[in-house]
């Protein structure tokens, strides 16, 4: 694993990006591309390439070239000609990590069917089921490690690199009713389609209209992108888990027809994917970003909920109050809320620039929270606050009396 940043000790203000390759150990092209990307970013940064300098200074880039090193070693020993379609795909424990993350889709859809009050439903940060976290659960050690990594770093954008096809897939990866395949979009479908298109349209092979299809599916009819569930259902995918449990948006890139290309093909494959890898990383800066602060103290507020009107999926601020919300160009009504604070709503406009729109929020504390803070410090409630409380109680009492009198009038009228 590698981290690339101009300011590794001071992450505040920089969005976190990751590439993960080698989930299936026999799909090796992603591994080689990520290793090459590490070298390329370092050499071009030192050379002064302004595009790379800007990318590294404005982004914390995390690169994991081999999520399944044991599977890779098995496939490598066989070699590119003999590895086969599945040899090395699974972990040392025999687990397919592409289906090994917690199935939060079912948790979400079950809750939607049971709950009659839709306002009580959550649409983000779904908790991991207790059975999944037990030591007896059939979860690969590599999967557990990656989940711990995801939870420790507030990733904003990611891509999961695979092989065996030429297509970019986007969530959801799992169908709602366990159908073999069915279009199953997220609330952020338009942005996911943009992300997939960015990679596919700049990839030298995918964007070639004269290329051959890999196997049976002609993805060129769909501009080389497809909703994952519409291709084939994948319960427990990393993409869906990232979207439902964290702030991170993630797609899967199927890089080549051949899962284990010959070493002589690697320079060509690097050129085929170099621009796609770079421009996809740059999308982490599309949308809005900002700070959520306490209006009085200016302190950052962690875990504030960022809600975009008409998109039923929220994200949260991180330690220090920073947040990043990926969005397509347009004007949005955005609300920030946090426990103990009154919510604040403002309009935020996303332009077609390669940098995010700054959209800060300053939340005022609720009266109740102010009182709790005073009492927690052993202080006395100020006279002005006591007067305000008295006014609120009087108003509430008058409101109760008025409602009671109205009910009595209606009852007398009914008896007549």
* Structure confidence by residue, pLDDT tens digits, 329-385: 999 999 999 999 999 999 999 998 888 999 999 999 998 888 887 787 777 777 776
**Matching residue, tokens 């991991």:** 128
**Matching residue, tokens 């090796």:** 28
pLDDT recorded at residue 264: 92
Kindly state the percentage of the chain with pLDDT values over 70: 93
Q: What is the fold, at CATH topology level, of the domain defined by 2-285?
A: Aminopeptidase (3.40.630)
Please list the active-site residues: 254
Q: Say if residues 203 and 280 touch (Cβ distance below 8 Å).
A: no
| Extents of the domains making up the chain | 2-285, 288-367, 382-415
Q: Say if residues 71 and 89 touch (Cβ distance below 8 Å).
A: yes
Q: Class of 288-367 per CATH?
A: mainly beta
**Matching residue, tokens 């009910």:** 407
Task: Give the pLDDT band (50/70/90) at residue 106.
Answer: very high
Query: pLDDT at residue 139 above 70?
Result: yes
The SS3 assignment for 302 reads coil
The SS3 assignment for 251 reads strand
The SS3 assignment for 409 reads helix
Condensed to tens digits (0 to 9), the pLDDT of residues 254-298 reads 999 999 999 999 999 999 999 999 999 999 999 999 999 999 999
Q: Say if residues 174 and 233 touch (Cβ distance below 8 Å).
A: yes
pLDDT recorded at residue 394: 77
CA-CA distance, 65 to 70, in Å (whole number)? 13
Q: Cβ of 319: how many Cβ atoms within 10 Å?
A: 11
């Amino acid at each position: 694993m590698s981290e690339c940043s101009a300011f590794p000790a001071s992450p505040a203000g920089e969005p976190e990006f990751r590439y993960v390759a080698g989930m299936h150990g026999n799909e090796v092209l992603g591994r080689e591309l990520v290793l090459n990307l590490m070298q390329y970013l370092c050499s071009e940064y030192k050379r002064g390439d302004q595009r790379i300098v800007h990318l590294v200074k404005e982004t914390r880039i995390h690169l994991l070239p081999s999520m399944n090193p044991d599977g890779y070693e098995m496939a490598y020993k066989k070699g590119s000609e003999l590895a086969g379609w599945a040899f090395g795909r699974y972990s040392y424990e025999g687990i397919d990590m592409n289906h090994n993350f917690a199935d939060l889709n079912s948790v979400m859809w079950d809750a939607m069917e049971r709950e009659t009050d839709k306002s009580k439903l959550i649409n983000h940060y779904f908790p991991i089921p207790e059975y999944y976290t037990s030591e007896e659960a059939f979860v690969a050690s590599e999967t557990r490690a990656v989940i711990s990594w995801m939870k420790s770093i507030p990733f904003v954008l990611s891509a999961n690199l695979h092989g065996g096809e030429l297509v970019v897939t986007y969530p959801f990866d799992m169908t709602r009713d366990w159908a073999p395949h069915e279009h199953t979009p997220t609330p952020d479908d338009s942005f996911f389609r943009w992300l997939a298109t960015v990679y596919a349209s700049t990839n030298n092979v995918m964007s070639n209209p004269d290329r051959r299809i890999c196997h049976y599916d002609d993805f060129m009819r769909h501009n080389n992108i497809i909703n994952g569930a519409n291709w084939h259902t994948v319960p427990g995918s990393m993409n869906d888990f990232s979207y439902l449990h964290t702030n991170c948006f993630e797609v899967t890139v199927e890089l080549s027809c051949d899962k284990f290309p010959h070493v002589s093909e690697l320079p060509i494959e690097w050129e085929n994917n170099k621009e796609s890898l770079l421009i996809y990383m740059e999308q982490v800066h599309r949308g809005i970003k900002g700070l959520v602060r306490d209006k009085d103290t200016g302190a950052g507020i962690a875990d504030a909920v960022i809600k975009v009107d008409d998109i039923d999926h929220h994200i949260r601020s991180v330690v220090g109050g920073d947040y990043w919300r990926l969005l397509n160009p347009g004007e949005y009504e955005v609300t920030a809320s946090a426990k103990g604070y009154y919510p604040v709503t403002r309009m935020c406009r996303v332009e077609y620039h390669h940098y995010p729109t700054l959209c800060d929020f300053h939340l005022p504390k609720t009266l109740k929270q102010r009182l709790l803070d005073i009492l927690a410090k052993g202080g006395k409630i100020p006279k002005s606050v006591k007067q305000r409380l008295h006014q609120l109680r009087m108003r509430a009492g008058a409101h109760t009396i008025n409602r009671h009198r109205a009910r009595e009038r209606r009852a007398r009228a009914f008896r007549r």
